[in-house]
Structure 1
Amino acid sequence: MSFLPKLKLLRGGTTRRKRKREAPPGLIQFFEQSRVVASFIFVATVAAIVLISSVGVSTLDTPVQTNQTASVRIVANETFSYESAELTRLKREQVRDRTPPVYRLELEPLRLFEIHIQDLLTAFETFEADFPDESAESPEAQLRLNNITADFNAKGPYRTNPADMKALLRLGDAQQRFSVVESALLVLRDIYEQGVHDGGSLAASTDSSDILVFQISQEDGVSNQAVESLEKALTLLRINLNAEGIGRQTTFSLFRIFRNGVTPNLIYDQSATKALQESAIANLEPVNVTVERGQTILEPGIRVTAEKHEMLIAHREIVLQSGAARIDEGLQLFGRVLLVLAMLFACTIYIRLKDLETLNSNSRLGLLALVVVLNLGAVRASYELASLPFFIEHSELAAILPYIAPTALAPVVVAILIDTGSAVFMALLISIFTGVIYGNRMDLLVLTFLASMVAILSSRQTRKRGAIVRATTFGGVVVATFALLIGVVDQLPPISVLQQMGAGLATGILTGVVVVGLLPLLESLFKRTTDITMLELTDYNHPLLRRMQMEAPGTYHHSLVVAQLAENAAEAIGARSLRARVCALFHDIGKMVKPEYFTENQRDDVNPHDFNNPSLSALIIKSHVKEGVDLALQHHLPRVVLNV
């Protein structure tokens, strides 16, 4: 074979194969190491963070729920007045409570007692007809009198005895008895029409220590009326009976009979009471509240009452209408710019001390900047949900918004793509600005930082995508637990606590799903390689490894042995064993272009080098490196494999 055909064969056959090459090294190096690019990343990051965390963000927009402990101080920017629905409601409740109950006079007990007395008089007439004077003392007459007494007592809650009945019977003839009884009934009727209370009713007012004045419902309306107590009514009955001049003992007997007819007759009239309350409330003027400029509306650490919450809502509306919020936002914007600069300078110092490789790599800096901006953008998006009409109308649901902020997104991405040290500082940065966005809430800062730290701890050396979701779920569990504790301390409604817990847990799970989806894109964009990708490359069904098995079995076996040795050695010295294994598996893929020129793939003692001059053989052997790079580029192998 002549030299020219051999040269064509060396170059891949008679038809030249086009190589896939990377971008020019000079351009890559410029973007990777240029301080100009690094400065641009810094300035762009500052601008993005300020834009996200400051523009349009005010403590006025901080979601606040009734009974929640305030985390920020809000002071009135100007004097304003508003109609307080809450204070008006409380005043109406006070008027309703202070309105005396209305009663009606129940005369039915009197009517029944009159009927029973008439029946008693009729029984006496029958008794006199059956037992004339000479037989009135007979045992049969006494038995009849006892039966009359028992029958009378059985008709009501009466307590009379035969002796009192005999005294009434001996008062005179039927006409005299009727006259005395009628007079006693007239006294009872007057007592009932005046009203009798048992001392347990609530009086509208007290004119003296003995007479109580009640609201009495009558046909022509409600009027105040003095009502006697049960004791006073009995005294009045006894006095009037004494005036009949029928003898002391007979008067006592008659009193003991007729006192059974005296009973409290005040009945609570619910409908009349409600009508009186509504009439009083209808004349009530709404409560107007005036808040002076500089007056504190919310104080950190103080529980937000319904009145304070209403005052805050009114203050928001007044400030938005007057435009005073723009001045405050300008001052806050300047302060936020200083805060962002300070945090990023601190971040730069930390990276310089702990991770100088990241500081010298613009791709790493760009990755850090991108994920922090994306994460803060997601936090700001959750904050902006509070301005939607739905959350404005349902302020209790707005309290879950801080718990749906995916603060663990950037820390977990950085922990997987760079290292845990940068991820910890990233978690602190995200937590600080999350607290700033939600009104300088220290509790939210601590909560989100702790949840992110748990997620970072659980995502170290992750080799499976499911482990990422599990790690962020642990962070969501932390958020849900703290939501429960905070809800118990703040005495929030159970439904609100459950909503916040569910939001925190769901956000943790969804954050893991989003991280899994973002990782391939970020790996490709910033030329980063995770252990997840490395583990996928160890699959022996990879096209290059399958091809090596078929075309260069000796090289394939050699690569397996080297991969095992490299992995064991890396583990022994604490290096990245998975990376060593993958690089060893693919380090000789270039030999597949001319496998027969390498001794591990030669069979039947046939060595093609015996038929070539040494310079051509050397060229073939050295070219397997370039061929390997070409194959790696075609199959999109990571840069770390290309470098090896």
Structure 2
Amino acid sequence: MKDFINALYRNHALAYKLLLFISTTLLIVYLFPKSGKFKYNFERGKPWQSENLYAPFNFAIKKTDEQVATEKQEVKDNVPLYFNINPAVQKTVTTNFKKGFKNAFSDSIPYYKRNALNQSGTKILDELYRFGVLSDDIEHSETKKVIILDGRVEKEQTQFTNLTEENEVSAIITRILEEEDLLSYKNEFTSLFFDLVEPNLEFNQEFSSRVLQEELEKVSYTRGSVERETLIISKGEVVEGLKFQILKSLESEYESQVWNKSNYNWIVFAYTLLVTLALLMLLLFIRKYRLSVFENNVKVTFIFFNVAFMVLITTLVVNYNSQYLYVVPICILPLVLKAFFDSRLGLFTHVVTVLLLGLIVPNSYEYMFLQITAGIVTILTVSELYKRANLFISVAQITLIYIVAYFAFFVIHEGSVETLKWETFGLFILCGLATLFVQPLIYAYERLFGLVSDVSLLELSDTNSKLLKELSNKAPGTFHHSLNVANLAEAAANEIGANAMLARVGALYHDIGKMKNPTYFTENQSTGINPHDELSPTESARIIINHVIDGIEIARKNNLPDRVIDFIRTHHGTSMVYYFYVKEKEMNENIDMEDFRYPGPTPFSKETAILMMCDSVEAASKSIKDPTSSKIDDFVENILNKQMNDEQFLNANITFKEIQSIKKVLKQKLTNIFHLRIEYPE
């Protein structure tokens, strides 16, 4: 047991990665739907590419959503509305009319006229209450069927247009009085009936809704069935009409049927295998091609976290409504990874993530084609993310790629643009806008995972920062040297396609350790006094070498990111303080070379290798007397060749061709610094 604990302790980093791998796999599998997936791909209007397909089991042919919606609408149109009638209301209104008529029309009116007016009023009442007066304003089709209930007994059936609404009373009075040639008494009748008329019909909402629901439940979602072993479609047959509907029904049956415990476990096991393979490919890629990332558990956690996060967001959207699938800004993933690492790792992780999502999204081939294409465009177009204009231009290009690719797929599927859903283009635009959220997301990731992006590097490159101001005050010569090295490193990085911003920032901070003993470095000796004259060569070498250790301490105290500290650690590699070594050797033959050697490590990236070259060349260039182009060329060649012979670049992923390009840049820059020009005759 003790041996196991000791082994676990020695390999704790590997154990952590294994735990991270397993937990991420289980999380993704947990998010995936636990149902079967139809193994055939087919499109409407296209030939069936697989072999003859026979029904694997009995299943019903499902109607399309449009067919079901049409049938439900027909039910809604045909199901009657139910109203409750109150018979007592009409009797009360009739009684009140007889009383009110005497008050409304004076006795001075001739008898025959009063009798005609009375008959007209009775006729108006009969017309108003022939089917009933509504109590509420209800809007329905005029031909809508209506059933009037007296208690629970059906009293009468009619159409909605025959019911009287309160705002129609005046029109009915006018029509009948015109027929009776009594229109001059309209005001009296209107005033009379305004006080008399009361609604006697009340809409029975509860009963009407219950009847409607019962009828809707009778709507069948299927139209026949297919027996087991029945030929569904033959190879080469065009998928259309009923054939297409049967295939969609079979696909739906595969994906929605209730699985027993045994099948469920097999599905989970199969998903686990696929997710494990995908994540294993990603982990092996990181281990083989990005070993520095693999050895950093925080960075590996960051990558796996982003993969799981994208799967989570996409799964939530698919479960809610797959129509909004393309709103999810998947291209944020390669953007974020490129900001913190590099394009290659960003693209590979993006492809693996899209492959995982292809297991759960509808139209998986179309989805994967669009997302992988958009990811490639993202990697190719986004450079210098800290420049806001670049991000907006890249997002516009990504959105355009989405739209063009989706349009092409739609035309291939449908054969025309008549039924093109233009609102889908709006979803792509929303996706592009959501991609702009990458900037605040990068900032949040920097604080959460302690990483550094080019945006942070831009802030660190500000020479007005507290640390660089302190360097310029305490060691002005070193500060000026750092500025020159930064310019050289940036130009060299641009020449070979390295991270120019990272190289510049690393150069600005690489010598901050000299602030502790600035006068022990020649660039800061303005008085002509050299304190090394009072020290032994061994002591002098120790002070010179210690500026690397001092620089790391100052950097950590000021919370500089590890990517910048790497430049401080490696800018001298394992080279020697050769001047003091030779001086000590003149006095003592038996010396330890390690006392005069920097602790290292040697550069392990293109950017750190560039800094070592530029630092050595810039510092030594001050010793060139009467510089000429040929002297500068030989000078640069000698310094860089010596570093190569000392195997200082052995761990850096830099090629001979790139070193030759850097030599060319350094020669050109030094020539410009020394202002070399032709000599004019006096």
Question: What is the TM-score normalised by the length of structure 2?
Answer: 0.49
Query: Is residue 363 of structure 2 the alignment partner of residue 382 of structure 1?
Result: no
Percent identical residues: 25
SS in 1 for 2:560: coil
**TM-aligned CA deviation for residue 460 of structure 1:** 4.5
CA deviations over 1:397-446 (Å, ceiling 9, x no partner) = x53x2312332232232233223222232222122222211146212111
Q: 2:421 aligns with which of 494, 497, 503?
A: 497
Aligned positions of 1:193-592 closer than 5 A:
289-292=223-226, 302=239, 308=245, 323-324=258-259, 329-351=264-286, 354-386=289-321, 398-399=322-323, 401-439=324-362, 441-460=364-383, 462-491=385-414, 497-513=421-437, 515-526=438-449, 528-571=451-494, 575-592=498-515
Range 488-497 or range 340-349, more displaced: 488-497
Assess if the C-alpha contact under 8 Å between 1:424 and 1:456 holds in 2. Answer: yes
CA deviations over 1:575-627 (Å, ceiling 9, x no partner) = 54433322221122233345455443344556677889999877765554444
Assess if the C-alpha contact under 8 Å between 2:471 and 2:478 holds in 1. Answer: yes
Assess if the C-alpha contact under 8 Å between 1:487 and 1:497 holds in 2. Answer: no
Query: Is residue 30 of structure 2 the alignment partner of residue 51 of structure 1?
Result: yes
CA distance in 1, matches of 2:316, 2:531: 67
CA distance in 2, matches of 1:71, 1:436: 21
**TM-aligned CA deviation for residue 88 of structure 1:** 10
What code does the residue aligned with 2:346 have? A
CA distance in 1, matches of 2:312, 2:49: 23
Assess if the C-alpha contact under 8 Å between 1:409 and 1:511 holds in 2. Answer: yes
Per the alignment, do residues 417 and 88 of structure 1 end up closer, same or farther by CA in structure 2, a change over 3 Å counting? Answer: closer
CA distance in 1, matches of 2:469, 2:383: 31
Partner of 1:86: 67
Partner of 1:192: none
CA deviations over 1:497-551 (Å, ceiling 9, x no partner) = 22111112321331242x2223234345555443333233222222212232334
What code does the residue aligned with 2:279 have? L
CA distance in 1, matches of 2:563, 2:70: 71
CA distance in 2, matches of 1:641, 1:370: 24
Partner of 2:554: 631
CA deviations over 1:204-249 (Å, ceiling 9, x no partner) = xxxxxxxxxxxxxxxxxxxxxxxxxxxxxxxxxxxxxxxxxxxxxx
* Greater C-alpha Rg: 1
CA deviations over 1:291-345 (Å, ceiling 9, x no partner) = 34658999999468899499859977x997x844877654432222222223234
CA deviations over 1:237-277 (Å, ceiling 9, x no partner) = xxxxxxxxxxxxxxxxxxxxxxxxxxxxxxxxxxxxxxxxx
CA deviations over 1:85-123 (Å, ceiling 9, x no partner) = 938968999xxxxxxxxxxxxxxxxxxxxxxxxxxxxxx
CA distance in 1, matches of 2:351, 2:261: 29
Assess if the C-alpha contact under 8 Å between 2:60 and 2:249 holds in 1. Answer: no
Per the alignment, do residues 453 and 368 of structure 1 end up closer, same or farther by CA in structure 2, a change over 3 Å counting? Answer: same
SS in 1 for 2:223: strand
Partner of 1:127: none
What code does the residue aligned with 2:397 have? F
Assess if the C-alpha contact under 8 Å between 1:470 and 1:512 holds in 2. Answer: no
Partner of 1:117: none
Assess if the C-alpha contact under 8 Å between 1:553 and 1:601 holds in 2. Answer: yes
Unmatched 5+ stretches in structure 2:
1-7, 75-214, 569-682
Query: Is residue 17 of structure 2 the alignment partner of residue 38 of structure 1?
Result: yes
**TM-aligned CA deviation for residue 450 of structure 1:** 1.0
What code does the residue aligned with 1:343 have? A
Q: Cα RMSD (Å) of the superposition?
A: 5.1
Per the alignment, do residues 532 and 315 of structure 1 end up closer, same or farther by CA in structure 2, a change over 3 Å counting? Answer: closer
Q: 2:523 aligns with which of 587, 600, 605?
A: 600
CA distance in 2, matches of 1:437, 1:586: 48
Per the alignment, do residues 458 and 434 of structure 1 end up closer, same or farther by CA in structure 2, a change over 3 Å counting? Answer: same
Question: What is the TM-score normalised by the length of structure 1?
Answer: 0.52
Per the alignment, do residues 347 and 70 of structure 1 end up closer, same or farther by CA in structure 2, a change over 3 Å counting? Answer: farther
CA distance in 1, matches of 2:278, 2:399: 26
Assess if the C-alpha contact under 8 Å between 1:484 and 1:501 holds in 2. Answer: no
What code does the residue aligned with 2:303 have? L
Per the alignment, do residues 572 and 450 of structure 1 end up closer, same or farther by CA in structure 2, a change over 3 Å counting? Answer: closer
Assess if the C-alpha contact under 8 Å between 2:13 and 2:297 holds in 1. Answer: yes
**TM-aligned CA deviation for residue 639 of structure 1:** 0.9
Assess if the C-alpha contact under 8 Å between 2:334 and 2:379 holds in 1. Answer: yes
**Equivalences, count:** 409
CA distance in 2, matches of 1:405, 1:305: 34
Assess if the C-alpha contact under 8 Å between 1:540 and 1:546 holds in 2. Answer: yes
CA distance in 1, matches of 2:9, 2:501: 30
Partner of 1:19: none
**TM-aligned CA deviation for residue 55 of structure 1:** 3.8
Assess if the C-alpha contact under 8 Å between 1:479 and 1:505 holds in 2. Answer: no
Range 623-632 or range 449-458, more displaced: 623-632
Per the alignment, do residues 501 and 571 of structure 1 end up closer, same or farther by CA in structure 2, a change over 3 Å counting? Answer: closer
CA distance in 1, matches of 2:514, 2:276: 53
Unmatched 5+ stretches in structure 1:
1-28, 94-281, 387-397
**TM-aligned CA deviation for residue 451 of structure 1:** 1.2
SS in 1 for 2:464: coil
**TM-aligned CA deviation for residue 454 of structure 1:** 1.0
**TM-aligned CA deviation for residue 478 of structure 1:** 1.3
Range 377-386 or range 452-461, more displaced: 452-461
CA distance in 1, matches of 2:461, 2:308: 34
**TM-aligned CA deviation for residue 558 of structure 1:** 1.7
Per the alignment, do residues 309 and 638 of structure 1 end up closer, same or farther by CA in structure 2, a change over 3 Å counting? Answer: farther
Assess if the C-alpha contact under 8 Å between 1:70 and 1:304 holds in 2. Answer: no
Assess if the C-alpha contact under 8 Å between 2:370 and 2:406 holds in 1. Answer: no
**TM-aligned CA deviation for residue 560 of structure 1:** 1.0
CA distance in 2, matches of 1:357, 1:304: 57
Per the alignment, do residues 459 and 319 of structure 1 end up closer, same or farther by CA in structure 2, a change over 3 Å counting? Answer: closer
SS in 2 for 1:289: strand
CA distance in 2, matches of 1:91, 1:374: 40
CA distance in 2, matches of 1:459, 1:92: 51
Per the alignment, do residues 640 and 75 of structure 1 end up closer, same or farther by CA in structure 2, a change over 3 Å counting? Answer: farther
CA deviations over 1:471-500 (Å, ceiling 9, x no partner) = 344222211222223334444987862211
CA deviations over 1:376-411 (Å, ceiling 9, x no partner) = 11211221222xxxxxxxxxxx53x23123322322
Per the alignment, do residues 309 and 82 of structure 1 end up closer, same or farther by CA in structure 2, a change over 3 Å counting? Answer: closer
Per the alignment, do residues 610 and 301 of structure 1 end up closer, same or farther by CA in structure 2, a change over 3 Å counting? Answer: farther
SS in 2 for 1:291: strand
CA distance in 2, matches of 1:525, 1:92: 54
**TM-aligned CA deviation for residue 455 of structure 1:** 1.0
Per the alignment, do residues 33 and 508 of structure 1 end up closer, same or farther by CA in structure 2, a change over 3 Å counting? Answer: farther
**TM-aligned CA deviation for residue 552 of structure 1:** 2.9
Per the alignment, do residues 620 and 484 of structure 1 end up closer, same or farther by CA in structure 2, a change over 3 Å counting? Answer: same
